[in-house]
Amino acid sequence: MIMDEDQIEAAEGQGGEGIPKLMKGLQSALDENDAESAEAILDACLRMSSSGSEVCDQLGEYLGTTLANALTVMMEEAVVIEVLLAVLVKVIKTPAHQASFGTPANIQQLMKAMTTHSEGEETLIEYACLVIEKLAQDNEAVANLLKENGVEAQLTAAESIITNVRNKKYVGQARSALKLSPS
């Protein structure tokens, strides 16, 4: 069942306890290929993730399932992918989270998202760089997986895509986390 705005708002109001409802709603939106609902639910998750670690910990339980599925199902929906990546930046905080999301399939999907949305989606590319940094930080296994799946080429492309001088640092931060030399 697709969640309406009132249901999303009610679940959001429950804090961490509302996350299972939101993730169930997100999975329904993905099953129905409903980008509008998926975006609304992810927006709620993003707002909630700013409220503290409890919410991020709860969302972390869905990194390898519902949130990973959103990356695959909504690949063509730039606005959904952008919000999803913003959520991932907030949620990926521990080695367990890195391992949960840093699977070969998810890494391939992340690289595909960067290629798919390389034109006109500067903010999405910025968030992708931040996700790469979070995944690779102090995690050699995930860093190697990223390297094996073409992250260097994606970061090189990101340097020319990101025009905001302040945000170009995201590429450097990702390179640093991956222990790659600056380009």
Mean pLDDT, contiguous 10-residue spans, the chain (183 residues): 94 94 98 97 95 89 97 97 98 95 97 94 97 97 97 96 95 96 75
Q: How many domains does the chain have?
A: 2
Same domain? For 30 and 102 the reply is no
Residues 87/49, Cβ–Cβ less than 8 Å: yes
Q: What is the pLDDT of residue 109?
A: 98
Contact 144, 180 (CB under 8 A): no
Co-location of 58 and 102 in the same domain? no
Shared domain for 129 and 163, answered yes or no, is yes
Q: 70 and 1, same structural domain?
A: yes
pLDDT at 138: 96
33, 11: one domain:
yes
pLDDT for 8 = 97
Of 46, 80, 114, which one is at a domain's C-terminal end? 80
Residue 119 located in a structural domain? yes
Q: In this predicted structure, what is the pLDDT of residue 182?
A: 76
Residues 17 and 100 in one domain: no
Q: What's the angle, vertex CA 56, arms to CA 50 and CA 60, rounded to 5?
A: 150
Domain of 45 in residue numbering reads as: 1-80
Q: How many CB atoms lie within 10 A of CB 136?
A: 27
Residue 86 included in any domain: no
Residue ending a domain, choose from 56, 80, 104: 80
Measured from the Cβ of residue 180, the count of other Cβ atoms closer than 10 Å reads 17
- H or E element at residue 103: none
C-alpha to C-alpha distance for 54 and 103, rounded to whole angstroms: 24
Q: Are residues 134 and 105 in the same domain?
A: yes
Domain presence at residue 129: yes
Can you give the pLDDT at residue 120?
85
Tokens standing for residue 66: 């519902």
What predicted TM-score, i.e. pTM, was given to this entire model?
A: 0.96
| Residue 87 domain-assigned (yes or no) | no
What was the pLDDT predicted at 52?
76
